[in-house]
């Protein structure tokens, strides 16, 4: 079995990726951020003979060095990702997203890791200058978060050019599904409707997004980790389809058979110049390199997501009445 490392394994995408890799027969070392509660986040209570969970922090170079020993493939997902919080605490995003990536690249290089997959984000493109957005689209730092990810991606790619570290920049568009943080629009709407809300406050709902079900995102990561032609490349994981946030909300409302009213709340708007108004990703490079394309359409994915969130034990994990940055 190939031994792989997933950083950020306690989070939304990371926990799904761990499960997906285990199902595919990998031996997985999962990094959960150290905390005094001894919690592995969404991996709490999950046991598998091929899974080992480590607790630590990618900001510590000594820890990253030990973490990469004996590892063949690194899936580097650990990051601070909430865009609104990056306005309040930008330095923490540099420390985790940039310095953390530096530590992981250096450790991977030292221990001869065979593949390093750096997790990017479609936010680095900013508002689309043309659509669909391919990997040659200009990068635009419209938030401290996106700036930190642009820097982290460039740093990882520098290790490919300067030191021959076999890096692939994996750039997912808007991933959604079970376990997603309530800071994202889809889970916050589903959880509020599920708890009986009749009115929901939102920011701007006119922007468009390219939504991808989490299982497809994980499958994209895995196929890229086996694709030698993807070494030294940046590759989008997207659906090649855009939909406005407003239309997405209407779809959720209809699927949940709700009469909820949506209203705009100015405090939830991004700062002027920071809103990304249009995201529509071109996935032709991923298809060309690997033959992979998404299998779950938006309606099907939303049905699965709604089914998960409306189970009482899952809904209880969310504070639906509180605004989550």
CATH value at residue 183: 3.90.25.10
Phi and psi, residue 207, nearest 5°? -60, 150
Within 8 A by CB and 6+ apart from 274, the residues are 83, 87, 142, 143
pTM, two decimal places: 0.96
13 and 146 housed in the same domain:
yes
77 and 167 housed in the same domain:
yes
Q: Is the peptide bond before 132 cis (omega within 30 degrees of 0)?
A: yes
93 and 226 housed in the same domain:
yes
pLDDT of res. 325: 55
323 inside domain: no
182 and 231 housed in the same domain:
no
86 inside domain: yes
Tell me: the pLDDT tens digits for 157-172?
A: 999 999 999 999 999 9
264 and 231 housed in the same domain:
no
226 inside domain: yes
263 inside domain: yes
pLDDT of res. 264: 84
12 and 35 housed in the same domain:
yes
168 and 306 housed in the same domain:
no
| Cα–Cα distance measured from residue 181 to residue 142, given in angstroms and rounded to the nearest whole number | 22
pLDDT of res. 179: 97
Count structural domains, the chain. 2
46 and 125 housed in the same domain:
yes
| Cα–Cα distance measured from residue 301 to residue 305, given in angstroms and rounded to the nearest whole number | 6
48 inside domain: yes
Domain that holds residue 251: 177-209+242-278+297-315
51 and 147 housed in the same domain:
yes
pLDDT of res. 319: 85
Phi and psi, residue 202, nearest 5°? -140, 165
| Cα–Cα distance measured from residue 53 to residue 43, given in angstroms and rounded to the nearest whole number | 9
144 and 203 housed in the same domain:
no
| Cα–Cα distance measured from residue 226 to residue 295, given in angstroms and rounded to the nearest whole number | 19
153 and 22 housed in the same domain:
yes
47 and 170 housed in the same domain:
yes
- Residue 121, SS3? coil
Angle at 223 between CA 220 and CA 229, to 5 degrees: 115
Diameter of the chain measured on Cα atoms = 57
283 inside domain: no
pLDDT of res. 324: 60
pLDDT of res. 185: 93
User: Could you give the C-alpha distances from 128 to 151, 190, 215, in angstroms and in order?
Assistant: 19, 27, 25
What residues of the chain score a pLDDT lower than 70?
321-325
């Amino acid at each position: 079995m190939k031994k792989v490392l997933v950083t950020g394994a306690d989070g939304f995408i990371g926990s799904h990726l761990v499960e997906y890799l285990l199902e595919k027969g990998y031996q997985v070392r999962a990094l959960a951020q150290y905390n005094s509660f001894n919690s592995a986040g969404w991996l709490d209570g999950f046991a598998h003979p091929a899974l080992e969970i480590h607790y630590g922090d990618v900001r510590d170079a000594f820890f990253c060095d030990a973490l990469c020993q004996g590892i063949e493939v690194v899936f580097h997902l650990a990051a601070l990702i909430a865009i609104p919080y990056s306005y309040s605490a930008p330095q923490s995003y540099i420390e985790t997203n940039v310095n953390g990536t530096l530590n992981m690249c250096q450790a991977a290089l030292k221990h001869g890791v065979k593949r390093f997959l750096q997790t990017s984000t479609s936010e680095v493109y900013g508002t689309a200058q043309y659509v669909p957005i391919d990997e040659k689209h200009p990068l635009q730092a419209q938030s401290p978060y996106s700036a930190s990810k642009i820097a982290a991606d460039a740093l990882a790619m520098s290790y490919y050019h300067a030191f021959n570290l076999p890096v692939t920049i994996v750039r997912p568009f808007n991933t959604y599904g079970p376990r997603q943080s309530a800071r994202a629009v889809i889970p916050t709407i589903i959880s509020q409707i599920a708890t009986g809300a009749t009115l929901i406050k939102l920011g701007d709902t006119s922007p468009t997004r390219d939504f991808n079900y989490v299982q497809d995102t994980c499958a994209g990561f895995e196929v890229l980790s086996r694709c030698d032609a993807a070494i030294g490349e940046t590759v989008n994981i997207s659906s090649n389809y855009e939909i406005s946030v407003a239309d997405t909300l209407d779809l959720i409302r209809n699927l949940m058979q709700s009469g909820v009213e949506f209203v705009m709340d100015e405090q939830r708007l991004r700062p002027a110049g920071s809103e990304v108004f249009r995201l529509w990703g071109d996935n032709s490079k991923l298809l060309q390199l690997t033959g992979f394309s998404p299998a779950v359409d938006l309606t099907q994915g939303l049905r699965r997501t709604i089914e998960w969130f409306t189970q009482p034990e899952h809904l209880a994990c969310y504070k639906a009445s509180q605004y989550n940055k």
